[in-house]
Amino acid sequence: MIRSKKELELYIHIPFCVKKCAYCDFLSGPQDEETIERYVASLLDEIRAHGSKPELVTSCEITSIFLGGGTPSILNVTQIQRIFEALRYNFMISQDTEITIEANPGTVTREKLLAYRACGINRISFGLQSTNSEELKLLGRIHTYGEFLESFHLARECGFDNINVDLISAIPKQTVESWEETLQNVIKLNPEHISAYSLIVEEGTMFAKVYGEGCPGEKDLPNEEEERAIYYRTEELLKEAGYHRYEISNYAKEAKECRHNLGYWERKEYLGIGLGSASLIKHTRYSNTSDLGKYIKYAKEPDKIKEDIQLLSSQEQMEEFMFLGLRKMEGVLEREFEEYFGVNIDEVYSEQLNKLIEEHLLDRKDGRIMLTERGIDVSNSVFAEFIE
């Protein structure tokens, strides 16, 4: 599709959930209904305030919307409807826009799912994480595998033909066999997209107190060999089932890649709306405040809730182009680098490229630079080579 206006992605943050998971370090947590309603009203204020800016309304076309959290499906039908009424009134939303909502199994109903469809939501992402009941308990998830199955089938019945399932591997005491069982169970359902992330024990989480470095539970985490076996088995099983790996942790059926996330990795402009949400507009990165009281008070004046404002230098933009673009299996195009920055990629990164290619961590062919299988294993160290 040829677009006459600049593309812009929207991210809407819903920072509420039924219960905080033990491993989660996202800006989210449980809240009472009154606070949730006040937040939604403030979210609408921010949407309207952005909609009053002519540079966003007249020059941009919204090509993807992502409601993340937290658990956006915790909102009631009326709240979701109000959010989408405000979005459609204040922004130019393309007819083929990908619109995703994250949902926790057990928090969706037929009424909610039909309302999502009526609002134009055409993609749903279920946070399953595991089909093993013990692993779900360990993670602090509120749902059972059975509740996930009910939610998944209900979504299908309500017309969702683009469903993602989030999974987490390297869970404490997890084995290659239990991970394979989870994968096989999900494959049988034939979702269009599967995100398979490896657990990271983040500081400040409940998990960090038990499984963090030096803690007694650290020994329960899969060792490097086991984690690598899980990693390779994931790609093998999903490839056999018809999923292609298009990003380090993401697999999709043909033409079902998550367009919103691809936009992040390709450095498209995006506007974050809601508590703590991040934005990239005209080479400037910034975040909204993570203070709920401040957000509710000043949502009508978005400039007052902006924090961590950073005008990216040309060098910083190049660094992001490389380490974000290399997350994709197709890597980065040398032609795009030159078109974007007006300089040949070798003039900037010849030393790093030669070193990484010699170490068999990067491959270079047909004007494209991409991670090798070995490079994927140590991707963070590869990305670090491009950051000063």
**What are the structural domain ranges in the chain?**
6-265, 314-384
DSSP 3-state assignment of 35?
A: helix
In this prediction, residues 127-134 reach a mean pLDDT of: 95
Please check the confidence at residue 54 and state whether its pLDDT lies above 80.
Answer: no
The tokens for 270 are 């995006």
- Cα distance between residue 7 and residue 56, in whole Å: 10
The alpha carbon of residue 72 and the mean position of all alpha carbons in its chain are separated, in whole angstroms, by 14
Residues in the chain: 388
In this prediction, residues 359-379 reach a mean pLDDT of: 96
Q: What pLDDT is stored for residue 71 in this prediction? A: 93
Going by pLDDT thresholds of 50, 70 and 90, the confidence category of residue 1 is: very low
Strand ranges (DSSP E) for the chain? 6-14, 60-69, 93-103, 123-129, 163-169, 193-198, 244-247, 250-252, 270-273, 278-281, 284-288, 306-311, 332-333, 362-365, 368-371
Going by pLDDT thresholds of 50, 70 and 90, the confidence category of residue 379 is: very high
> 135-161: per-residue pLDDT in tens?
999 998 889 999 999 999 999 999 999
The architecture of the domain spanning 6-265 is: Alpha-Beta Barrel (3.20)
Q: What pLDDT is stored for residue 207 in this prediction? A: 85
Q: What pLDDT is stored for residue 4 in this prediction? A: 54
Please check the confidence at residue 291 and state whether its pLDDT lies above 60.
Answer: yes
Cα 50 to Cα 13, 54, 89, 120, 305, distances in angstroms: 15, 9, 11, 21, 13
Q: Mean pLDDT over all residues of the chain?
A: 93
> 171-183: per-residue pLDDT in tens?
999 999 999 999 9
Of residues 21 and 361, more confidence is placed in: 361
Q: What pLDDT is stored for residue 18 in this prediction? A: 82
- With pLDDT > 70 as the criterion, what percentage of the chain qualifies? 98
> 57-116: per-residue pLDDT in tens?
677 899 999 999 989 999 999 999 999 999 999 999 989 999 999 999 989 999 999 999
The tokens for 246 are 């298009």
The tokens for 300 are 């009508």
- Cα distance between residue 261 and residue 268, in whole Å: 10
Say if CB 161 and CB 168 are below 8 A apart: no
Q: What is the pTM of this model?
A: 0.94
> 184-222: per-residue pLDDT in tens?
999 999 999 999 999 988 888 888 888 888 898 888 898
Question: How would you write 311-365 as a 3-class SS string?
Answer: ECCHHHHHHHHHHHHCCECCCEEHHHHHHHHCCCHHHHHHHHHHHHHHCCCEEEE
Of residues 226 and 299, more confidence is placed in: 299
Q: What pLDDT is stored for residue 2 in this prediction? A: 47
Closest CA to 369 of 341, 340, 339, 328: 328
- Cα distance between residue 77 and residue 79, in whole Å: 5
> 271-289: per-residue pLDDT in tens?
999 999 999 999 999 999 9
62 strand-pairing partners: 8, 93
Give the position of tokens 């890649």.
257
Q: What is the CATH number of domain 314-384?
A: 1.10.10
> 33-49: per-residue pLDDT in tens?
999 999 999 999 999 99
- Cα distance between residue 298 and residue 300, in whole Å: 5
- Cα distance between residue 129 and residue 147, in whole Å: 13
Say if CB 193 and CB 160 are below 8 A apart: no
Say if CB 16 and CB 69 are below 8 A apart: yes
- Cα distance between residue 33 and residue 75, in whole Å: 9
H helical segments located in 213-256:
224-240
Would 6-265 and 314-384 be classified into the same CATH topology? no
In this prediction, residues 245-256 reach a mean pLDDT of: 97
Say if CB 178 and CB 132 are below 8 A apart: yes
